[in-house]
Amino acid sequence: MRMGEDLNMLTKIKKAWMLMVVSVLGLFGLACERSQEQEALIKPDHVPEEQISQDILDAYSDWTETYVKTASGGEETMYYVAYDEQGNTVSEAHGYGMLITAEMAAYTDDTKAYFDGMYHYFKHYPSTNNSAFMAWKQRDQGDGTMINDNGEITGSATDGDMDIAYALLLADEAWGSSGSINYREEAVTIINALMDDVIHEDTHLPLLGDWVRGNDPVYSEATRTSDWMGGHAAVFAEAAEDNRWEDVEKAIVDTTEEVQNEHSPDTGLLPDFLIYEDEQWSPAPPQFLERDSDGDYSYNAARVPWRMAEAYQTTGNNQVREQLKRINEWAETHADGDPASFQAGYTLEGEALAGHTDMVYTAPLAAGASIDESKQEWLNQLWDKMTVDYEDSDRNYYNDSVRLLSMLTVNHKNE
């Protein structure tokens, strides 16, 4: 569809999405819980809404064509999201894939087959620690056959399973659960397993995966900030009828406040990883799990503004909005209003870690700006950076996936 060719169809899409969101909010009981003082959300205002929807459709088309692959070996058709040029995948990518195909049901009618195929893939590769979760990584054997990276011993990564559970709830609302897959039942199974196996019973924050045991001397008191999905937690509390998820939502907000006040008062930035010691949270040391920048605003924490925007849109918690505004204000000021000047990673004090920009940092800032009426021009600039100014050299699975998910957040339709 080209711009202007079928505005009626785009209008129908918008109405369909509005109906779906109203249904979601009604089911989860979130509509009545949203703060009456919640500030208005914004969208880019320098392009027509129809163009925003078209930009999302174009991004989705490119994403599916480039990254969605067919896997062999199952009784059902299986799809997965290739996260590298070798066609390998990880559960993080799979969670993104299921989120995207569920959310895109409001824009196009070709997503259910992809979603169901991704569900079958998820079920085909369970973690050996907890079969409700997906094994972290699979490698392509060159013929469409996928094998677990660590052979018969596998573990999970928390963010993938949280996104998969949330996507299944969205699928239940989009298509219902009376068909061959009971989306809602499957979601609740994962949600309950998450609470039992990867939510710390004392801090109420997510652990890194089901491979972390309570007596682990290194990782049992650690958390990854990009796993902090307050909006998911609020919805999980309703879906599973388990108010412990409210403790998770509160812990995310409270710990964000602590870290911003104690470790990033000037920037509001969060680090990739935090460790709990001496009754307080501190940024992880270099090479804690992945890289030298584990205690900085790096490639994991880059997603935090998007996750916070999602949480605010879902819950209406104005403390989340104020926390996100701290990041917004510093980011726009630091970049002097030019997204191309926002670098790929920072210390919590605001010192750049790189001399180049990266879409996985830019796109979540757009999602973050959408909750702040004072950032209209900044949002417009970020949207252009994600669309008309998106450079081919910046394209990869991670950037393109987070970009599309952030675009969907910016084009919020749950006002």
For the domain made up of 9-410, the CATH class stated in words is mainly alpha
CA atoms within 13 A on the CB side of 119: 25
Facing residues of 115 across strands?
none
Q: How far, CA to CA in Å, does 121 sit from each of 150, 243, 290, 371?
A: 17, 30, 27, 35
The pLDDT value given to residue 12: 38
Helices (H), 265-358: 304-315, 318-335
* CB atoms near residue 355 (< 10 Å): 7
C-alpha Rg value of the chain to the nearest Å: 20
Domain segments of the chain: what residues? 9-410
Q: How would DSSP label each residue in 264-278?
A: -TTT----SEEEEET
Distance CA 334, CA 86 (A): 37
Strand positions, DSSP E, 99-221: 137-140, 146-148
Whose CA is closest to 311, among 35, 26, 32, 111? 35
Quote the tokens at residue 205: 């924050």
Q: Residues for the chain: how many in total?
A: 415
Tokens 């919805």 -> residue: 235
The 8-class DSSP code of residue 35 comes to -
Q: How far is CA 68 from CA 81, 88, 148, 363, 401, in A?
A: 5, 11, 18, 21, 11
Nearest in space to 331 (alpha carbons), one of 259, 264, 261, 251 = 264
Q: What pLDDT is stored for residue 34 in this prediction?
A: 46
List, in sequence order, every residue forming a beta bridge with 134; answer none if it has no partner.
126
* Residue 152: predicted pLDDT: 80
Greatest distance between any 2 Cα atoms in the chain: 62
| Bridge partner list, 296 | none
- Report phi then psi at 274, rounded to 5: -125, 150
d(CA 229, CA 303): 11
Among 55, 140, 159, 247, which one carries the catalytic annotation? 159
As a whole number of angstroms, the distance between CA 25 and CA 348 comes to 35
- How many C-alpha atoms does 162 have within 13 Å on its Cβ side? 28
pLDDT at 38: 57
**Inter-residue contact 397 to 90 (CB < 8 Å):** no
Compute φ and ψ for 5, nearest 5 degrees: -75, -35
Q: How far apart are CA 56 and CA 342, in angstroms?
A: 23
Our answer to whether residue 159 is catalytic in this structure is: yes
pLDDT in the model for residue 20: 44
Q: What is the pLDDT along the chain (415 residues), one digit of tens a residue?
A: 333 334 343 333 343 444 344 444 444 444 334 443 457 899 999 999 999 999 999 999 999 999 999 999 889 999 999 999 999 999 999 999 999 999 999 999 999 999 999 999 999 999 999 999 999 999 999 888 999 998 788 999 999 999 999 999 999 999 999 999 999 999 999 999 999 999 999 999 999 999 999 889 999 999 999 999 999 999 999 999 999 999 999 999 999 999 999 999 999 999 999 999 999 999 999 999 999 999 999 999 999 999 999 999 999 999 999 999 999 999 999 999 999 999 999 999 999 999 999 999 999 999 999 999 999 999 999 999 999 999 998 999 999 999 999 999 999 854 4
Q: Rounded CA gap, 269 and 305, in Å?
A: 9
Instruction: Supply the angle between the helices 359-369 and 397-410 in degrees, to the nearest 10.
Output: 10
Instruction: Tell me the one-letter amino acid at 345.
Output: G
